[in-house]
Amino acid sequence: MDRKDRRLIQNEELRLSDVPAENADIYAISPFALSFDGYARYPANYSLFAETRRAFEAGCANLNGLGLTDLRSCLFHEQRIQKWSMDNPDYKPDLRYMRALVSAIRAILVRQ
């Protein structure tokens, strides 16, 4: 999907029906991740992305403690890593992490 063709969805406009299912595949999660402009919102907040992913991998991440903007930023960033690493044969996208972010986003929308 070309950047100019994708539809950006602001947090205030985001509905549960916009968010993929918690068990969605990468082909459903990626377009959703790109519905948020992570470059504009968090152009260089790599510490948030790295710390959140590292905590998830260690089994101690509290994704439910993050806000919608942070969660969507992490998902956007993870999708960008996945896209730019596709040519690296050693890279394996962490679909569990992406699904956990989607699940936390869904939880926020359910509470609203």
Tens digit of each residue's pLDDT (9 = 90 or more) over 79-102: 988 877 777 777 776 799 999 999
Contact 46, 38 (CB under 8 A): no
- The residue extents of the domains of the chain are 37-112
Where residue 19 falls among pLDDT bands split at 50, 70, 90? very high
Tens digit of each residue's pLDDT (9 = 90 or more) over 28-78: 999 999 999 888 766 566 778 888 888 888 888 788 888 999 999 999 988
pTM of the model: 0.85
In this prediction, residue 42 carries a pLDDT of 64
**49: which 2 tokens?**
């992305």
Give the Cα separation of 27 and 5 in Å (integer): 16
Q: What are the distances in angstroms from CA 100 to CA 3, 4, 75?
A: 25, 28, 10
In this prediction, residue 7 carries a pLDDT of 86
In this prediction, residue 3 carries a pLDDT of 53
Contact 79, 29 (CB under 8 A): yes
